[in-house]
A and B are shown apart, each in its own frame.
Chain A
């Protein structure tokens, strides 16, 4: 049971380039999320998915796209990278604890630098 996996661990992009951050989970969780972590700001939600085929925006969605074709995978796409997207990106999947509460499991993160 690998939990939540993310690739790559590190990436350097030039402004305007595109790329996809990969996230996969093997826990059969319905809910998956993408966060970015910036110093002093904690983690901020980018996009989330409540199941295959269903996605929605979080707090900071601009410049990012997501899709959820399977329960296991939830890739994050940067269409045209900007220096403001330099950050550490975390993927999480959520297990329902009770009706409205969930426990989130985080991947190891992807450190992205845009020059």
Chain B
């Protein structure tokens, strides 16, 4: 069975600094990878997804992520964060022929400070 680990529960960072949110997964079959963002008291919004092809995926709001199959990782990065990026970020995986079922990591709270 697949599992997803987000290594940092909270990441504080100053505005305009770069940030990386880490995600590792375990799976024995091919996977599809997603990052979602949740702003306070809202639902989840898709940031980006990896299905196949180029391992560097670009998403909305200037975020990007790189799929590393050998390290089973899908880390999320942004070169310069804004106060408005303060939110909780979730990494999620679906695998094989169960693509409609997502397994989520525990989430990382990104706190951008002025």
Contact = CB atoms under 8 A, between A and B. Distances in A.
Name which of B4, B44, B92, B107 has the most chain A CB atoms within 10 A of its CB. B44
B45 to A, nearest CB: 8
A43 B51 contact: no
Contacts, number: 63
Interface stretch (A12-20, A67-75, A76-84, A92-100): A92-100
Interface residues of B, number: 27
B102 A104 contact: yes
A74 to B, nearest CB: 13
A33 interface: yes
Please tell me the size bucket of the interface on A: 20 to 34
Nearest to A108: B43
A103 interface: yes
B106 A40 contact: yes
Given A97-B49, A107-B43, 4 more contacts: A40-B9, A40-B106, A100-B98, A106-B43
Interface of A: 4, 31, 33, 35, 40-45, 48, 50, 58, 90, 94, 97-98, 100-104, 106-109
